[in-house]
Structure 1
Amino acid sequence: MSTLVRFFIVTVLCVLSATASADTIFGVYGGIGVWQADIDGSMGIDDVPITTNELGIDEQQSQVFYVAIEHPIPVVPNIRLQYTPLEYDGFAVVEREFTWDDITFPANAPTTTQLDLSHTDITLYYEILDNWVSFDLGLTAKMVDGSASVDSRPEGTDPITEQTELNGTLPMAYAMARFDLPLSGAYLGGHINYVSYDGSTLSDLDVKLGWQYESVLDVGFELGYRQFKIELQEFEDANADLSFDGPYLNLAVHF
C-alpha cells in the first residue's frame, strides 16, 4: 500500500474520531470505495494511434478515498480531497508497427504496457444551495502522478523499452448537485470536473444513488457510475483519446 493511500485512510479515520457535536460548527464527509474502471481509447503520434485493445489493456478495479470539510466561515471556501489510484497493465503481440514518444516499436512483437494515471483532486468550493437541494461550485487542482511504459521484445533483436513520466497539475471547473428524496434517507447526486483548452479536453464526472442512515454518525452507501476522459490533440506532438468508466460502490460517512 502506497504512502499516499495510507495518508488518505488515516485522514478519513482521524476526522471521524472527532466529537459528533462538531456538526453544529462544521460538517465532515468521508468515503472509501471501489471503482470497476474499464479503459478504452488510443494514444501515440501515428496517424492511426495504437489502441488499448491492441496493447491488451483491460479493466481494473481501483480504490477511491475522499474527505471533505465544510464550515460556516464567510468567504473562506470549503475543501475536498480525493485520491484515485489508476494503474493498468497490458500484454499482447501487437500486429502492427506503432510509435510512442518518438520510439518506433515493430510489428508482431510481444509487448508489455504499463499505464499509471493515479491522481489527487484538491477542490475548493462554495455551497450555493444547502437544503433538500444542494449545489456547490468551485475549482479543482487535479494532480496527476503517473507514467506510461512500453516494453517490446522483437525476435532476434534487443528489447525496446520506453517510459514517459505523466506528471502535472491541471486546473478544472467543479460542480456538485444533490437531491434528497423525502422521508427515505435516499438521494441522487453527482460531481463534475471539466477543463478544455486549445483542442484538448479533460473531464471527470459521476452520477450516483445514495442512502444514508441518520444518527450520531451518519453512515450510508453510494452506488454510481464514473467516467474520466482525456482528449489530447497534438499535445507535445502526441494525441490521446482515453476513457476510464464503470460502476462504483462507496461507503460514505458524515457527521
Structure 2
Amino acid sequence: MRKLMMVMGASMLAAAPVVSADILGVGATVGYWDADYSGEASKGNDRVDLERDLNLSNDSNANLTAYFEHPVPVLPNVRLAYTRTKQSGNGQLNTGYDGVSGAVRSELELEQLDVTLYYEILDNWVNLDLGLTVRDFSGELLVQNRNDTSQFSETKADAVLPLVYVAARFDLPFTGVSVGGDANAISYDGDSVYDFNVYGQYEMSLLQLRAGYRQISLDYEDGDDNLDIELSGPFVSAGLRF
C-alpha cells in the first residue's frame, strides 16, 4: 500500500502543470500548539484510555518549519517540519494495563520530523502546492505505579512513512491577509495518519503571523503495541520570509 500511495502521488505531480517561483525564497517559522490528546493505547489485549484512565495534561510542545523555493521548474521545492508534544498526568487504573494498576503516573510523547518535496501548481492570489512527505515519527507512552516503581509499562510506535501533501492558500489582494490550510495523509493495512491544519495569516514586509487549528489522527500498530490517538487544538506561529 505504501508503494501505491507513492505511485499515486508521483502520477498526480506528473499530470499537474508546475509553476516555479520567480526568485529564490527562504522562510522559517516557530509556533506554539495548544494540543490535547484523546484516544487509547494498547499492548496485547490490554487497553488504556488516555483521558479517562491517565488524566493527561499538556506539558510542552515545539513546532518548527522551514522551506526553500527556487525558480527551477523540474526540481521540487523543499519543506522541513518538526513537531514534538509531551503530556503527563496522574491517573487511576482499576483494571490494570500491562501489569500496572492502581494510582499511576503517565507520560506520553510524540515526535515527528517531516521532509516534504513539493511543486507549486498555482501561484497567484490562489496558491496550490502538491507533493510527497516522508515522516519519521515516534510515540512513547510510559505508565508507572506511583507507590510501586516495579510496576512499569512502556508502549512504543516508531515508523518512517510516506504521505501525500496538499497545501492551499487564498490571498486577499493588497491586504496582506490570507486564509489557507495544508494536509498530510496516508492509510494502509489498517494503519493511518491524518494531519491537517487551517489558518488565517497576516504578512507585513518580511514578517508572517498565523493563527489556526491543527489536528493529527494517528492509528499505528508496532508489534503488540498500538497507539490510536488524536491531537487537536489551536496554534499560533510567527515567521520570517525572504
TM-score of the pair, normalised by structure 1: 0.80
The residue number in structure 2 matching 1:73 is: 72
Q: Per the alignment, in what secondary structure is the counterpart of residue 117 of structure 1?
A: strand
Q: CA deviation at 1:63?
A: 2.3
AA in 1 matched with 2:196: L
Q: Per the alignment, in what secondary structure is the counterpart of residue 55 of structure 2?
A: coil
Name which of 228, 231, 238 aligns with 1:241.
228
Larger relative strand fraction: 2
Alignment of 1:52-63 (within 5 A): 52-53=50-51, 54-63=53-62
Q: CA deviation at 1:34?
A: 0.5
The residue number in structure 1 matching 2:123 is: 130
Q: Per the alignment, in what secondary structure is the counterpart of residue 141 of structure 1?
A: strand
1:91-116 deviation per Cα after TM superposition (whole angstroms, max 9, x unaligned): 21222222xxxx3223xx12111211
In 2, Cα distance between the equivalents of 1:136 and 1:158?
Answer: 50
Aligned partners of 1:114 and 1:150 also within 8 Å: yes
1:202-236 deviation per Cα after TM superposition (whole angstroms, max 9, x unaligned): 1110000000013xxx212100100011123x652
Name which of 33, 36, 39 aligns with 2:34.
36
The residue number in structure 2 matching 1:6 is: none
The residue number in structure 2 matching 1:159 is: 150
Corresponding residue pairs, total: 221
Alignment of 1:9-48 (within 5 A): 25-45=23-43
Q: CA deviation at 1:139?
A: 0.7
The residue number in structure 1 matching 2:167 is: 176
Of all paired residues, the percent bearing the same amino acid is: 33
Name which of 183, 194, 214 aligns with 2:185.
194
Aligned partners of 1:86 and 1:119 also within 8 Å: no
Stretches of structure 1 lacking an aligned partner (at least 5 in a row): 1-22
The residue number in structure 1 matching 2:218 is: 230
Q: Per the alignment, in what secondary structure is the counterpart of residue 74 of structure 2?
A: coil
In 2, Cα distance between the equivalents of 1:63 and 1:144?
Answer: 14
In 2, Cα distance between the equivalents of 1:140 and 1:153?
Answer: 40
Stretches of structure 2 lacking an aligned partner (at least 5 in a row): 1-20
- Two-structure CA RMSD over aligned residues (Å): 2.0
In 1, Cα distance between the equivalents of 2:84 and 2:22?
Answer: 34
In 1, Cα distance between the equivalents of 2:83 and 2:126?
Answer: 27
Question: Cα–Cα, structure 1 residues 158 and 189, in superposed 2: closer, same or farther, change >3 Å?
Answer: closer
